[in-house]
Structure 1
Amino acid sequence: SKNGKLELGLWFFHQMPNPDTVTYNELIDGFVKSGDFNNAFQILSSMMPDPNSASWNTILTGYVNSEQSREATAFFTKM
């Protein structure tokens, strides 16, 4: 299942000593595509180095694609 793959991806992510920005963004993208914005935000907030524009755009696009315009607007103002 898709959720099982995300859980496995999250497990691998936590095993990595120094995940890079691409790895963070892929995980964020997976959570956003499954509608799990809570986990996407947790990953975004834990990013080191700082999130890049792709990190923010992934979540913003997820809100827009899932027709959550109020959340998209609120998120955009935080960027």
Structure 2
Amino acid sequence: MKKLTITIASAVALGLSACAEEPAENDDMMADETSMAEEATAPGNIVEVAADDGSFTTLVAAINAAELATR
């Protein structure tokens, strides 16, 4: 009888905890994280990134010679 009571009590407790409401997330915090991620991933266009890196001088020269950087 004790095992049955413990089993039923455990099942009820598990059921109630599964149906519990999830805590709401703070929208302000999500907005801050989103804006930080956008700032971190937007360093410039591909020509600016290549020019700033210094390893792509031929590519940057070709883009500038073809006047593609002004588009």
What TM-score bracket applies, with the shorter chain setting the length? under 0.3
- Higher relative contact order, structure no. (Cα contacts within 8 Å, ≥ 6 residues apart): 1
> Computing the radius of gyration over CA atoms, which structure comes out larger, 1 or 2?
2
User: Which has a greater percent of helix?
Assistant: 1
TM-score by length of 2: 0.26
TM-score by length of 1: 0.25
